[in-house]
Structure 1
């Protein structure tokens, strides 16, 4: 969600695919909408969260890497922590609005299922305790796990960025070792209520964040990977095809039982909380093929068709928060009023339209504010 400073060489792929991830997250949070089949969640091991976290790491390195090189560790760290505070405040505001929406609709329509399904019952029973836990990021309603993960990753980012600017490879190795150790020993941050840990384990999900950040400082490695396209691309396609077969076997009756028992024992469960290696490799395969086939100057990125996605990606924090709020609103409409296919399509399209409209307004305001700033006058030399 950190934004790179606008430059002439801005890579619109970051904004485009971050905007796409925001749309996918919004749709995936509505469990009763046919449009979820338009997202990548049902066609492999990874989903939009991996896209979002990786691009967030990449964008954070672009946004703050130059500042750390020019202004030093302390000032750059202060800028990063200021952004952490902004995201933390946004998370708390979203938490209050989201829980209020759920509680109001549950009471207004006398349907306790919403309170239980969205994990808000504890808050209503013990608001004085639960509010403190929410401030500590230990209590979160369902679908509100991404921002706390990002807050923790970005808060720890100054040290990682300092290392990436000097020796990116050792930082990547340390990240991989932390990932392996966290999965091996079950490290996670405490949750409330219970001791299940965070839904997105920061000790494992940091891997994608660090890989995204390190990619900005390892051009030689990326160039080498690009030159290996002849054998890496077919390998990536083969793995994606394998993941597609497994994922479709979960949903399509003709493929049910097509996965051999011995293979299923090695594959399942495909753990999202601790970022299962199958998910990690699946995302990296997608990222590799995307980088091979969609260049930074691809014409589609600057087209009118791509503009809604690009502008949503450029204002990701606000769009994400509104998307979380709208996703429950949409699910409520489908469950309480009309769950027909036309209504599902209308609710999904309407939510995306509102998210895009918000991004457009923010973009217009930012451009107007920038244009209204007085230009420095050049004083002629005496």
Structure 2
């Protein structure tokens, strides 16, 4: 009797029926597919960095540059980009870890990353409160504390700090990281399910999204209300990003390359643009039929309205079609700052929150916040974010080179010792 190892080791003979039968059996491919190359996907870094810039600009009140962000020209905004790419990159990195090292090791790595994000959130919360409190007291303007949502902290700091540690209390502009923390906590389960059945996992995510709308599922916030970004709804975008990273995008390539898909996306983007145009030009409101208004509105961001999700899908499909992976512009030095910001998204996001309030203060206190000052503050913030991203990248690169030299020196010393 021949073993399986024997059948693999030697070629089948003409009269070896068992070997011919074994050769005829197709080899099972893995359910989730990961690119074999280790080259970084610069398009993801580019658009995540762009999302961070847009989030910063949109957080500045009455900022003229918000007219250059696409939230005014469609249903979705930079938040959808950030969450989708976060799901994509997280699944790509930890999906490979789960395939190579197993579920337990990958889960441990994910939980370590969750802890890092949580610590960053607590650090951001602490410094952000100090920044707002100092400005409010120094300039004797309690409106800053009220606008940024920290009045409850000033009244009951002990209770509020506990609620903040539980992710239930958050000042203004600090809603994204708690959402990201919750979604990352469930990433091990998401990847494990996708290793089993990726399409079923995505279907379960769609089902949870529908149940959240049907039964009004949400997480409560302190002191009242609910999370600004409902995790039960926004998980769909995160899971969809993970599904694309683990082979879904490859399986959709034929659909995405179809001219019909491209024209449908363009038509929907044009429809969204026309609808949002009526928001800014009330005299055009008569063009919107009442029946369509009753069907569409409200287009809520908290529960990620399906129209927002569809708008993001259309943007993503058009972008993938028009911006190939090997586009030479991705290597341009002009795009290097935004790509670096995308590669260090956690640090740059936290910095952007600080800078947004600092910009808010400058615009409120000086020169009435005119267009020129708005432009200066916006560009200054982007330059600071880009500079910090460059410093972080330089530091990590220098540390990696130092570690490589040290490792090489130790290896050479071991070889020299072994030869003596």
> What's the TM-score bracket when you normalise by the shorter of the two chains?
over 0.9
Q: Which residue of 2 aligns with 1:145?
A: 175
Q: What is the rounded CA distance, in whole Å, between the counterparts of 1:165 and 1:56 in structure 2? A: 19
Residue 329 of structure 2, aligned match among 272, 280, 300: 300
Residue of structure 2 equivalent to 1:163: 193
How far did residue 260 of structure 1 move?
Answer: 2.0
Kept in 2, the 8 Å contact 1:27–1:33? The answer is: yes
Q: Distance in 2 between matches of 1:8 and 1:156?
A: 25
Q: Tell me if the contact between 2:244 and 2:250 (Cα under 8 Å) persists in the aligned partners.
A: no
Q: Distance in 1 between matches of 2:286 and 2:178?
A: 38
Tell whether 2:300 aligns with 1:265: no
- Aligned position for 2:313: 284
| Per-residue CA distance 1:267-321 (angstroms, 9 max, x = gap) | 1100100000000000000001101111111111111111111000000000000
Q: Which runs of 5+ in 2 are unaligned?
A: 1-33
TM-score normalised by L of structure 2: 0.87
1:238 to 267, 291, 303: 267
Q: Is residue 381 of structure 2 the alignment partner of residue 347 of structure 1?
A: no
Does 2:84 correspond to 1:54?
Answer: yes
State whether structure 2 residue 212 is matched by structure 1 residue 205. no
Q: Answer yes or no: is the 8 Å Cα contact 2:75–2:276 preserved in 1.
A: yes
Question: Could you tell me whether the CA contact under 8 Å between 2:256 and 2:262 is conserved in 1?
Answer: no
Q: How does 1:70-85 map to 2 (within 5 A)?
A: 70-85=100-115
Q: For residue 142 of structure 1, give the secondary structure of its aligned residue in structure 2.
A: coil
Matches of 1:101 and 1:286, distance apart in 2: 37
The TM-score normalised by the length of structure 1 is 0.95
What's the secondary structure of 1:199's corresponding residue? Answer: coil
Partner of 1:358 in structure 2? Answer: 388
SS at match of 2:360: helix
- Alpha-carbon RMSD across the aligned residues, in angstroms, is 1.9
**In structure 2, distance between residues paired with 1:43 and 1:177:** 29
Kindly tell me the number of residue pairs found equivalent between the two proteins: 377
CA contact (8 A) 1:32 1:334 kept: no
Deviation by residue 1:140-178 (Cα, 9 ceiling, x = unmatched): 001100000000000111000111123210100000000
Asked if the contact 1:32/1:331 (under 8 Å) is kept, the reply is no
Residue ranges of structure 1 left out of the alignment (5+ in a row): none
Tell me the equivalent position of 2:135.
105
Given the alignment, which residue of 115, 123, 138 partners 1:93? 123
Instruction: Determine which of 189, 192, 197 is the counterpart of 2:222.
Output: 192
Quick one: distance in 2 between partners of 1:124 and 1:93? 18
Q: CA deviation at 1:46?
A: 0.2
Q: Does 1:123 align with 2:153?
A: yes
CA shift digits 1:220-269 (9 cap, x unpaired) = 42222233x21011110010011011112111244244322221111110
Q: CA deviation at 1:102?
A: 1.1
> What is the match of residue 277 of structure 2?
248
For residue 270 of structure 1, give the secondary structure of its aligned residue in structure 2.
Answer: coil
1:74-125 Cα shifts (integer Å, max 9, x gaps): 1110100000000000001111111111111111112222111111100100
Bigger-Rg structure (1/2): 2
Q: Give the Cα–Cα distance (whole angstroms) in 2 for the partners of residues 102 and 264 of structure 1.
A: 40
In structure 2, what is the Cα distance between the partners aligned to 1:156 and 1:188?
Answer: 16
Distance in structure 1 (CA, Å) of the matches to 2:128 and 2:243: 35
Bigger relative CO (Cα 8 Å, ≥ 6 apart): 1
Residue 361 (structure 2) aligned to one of 332, 357, 379: 332
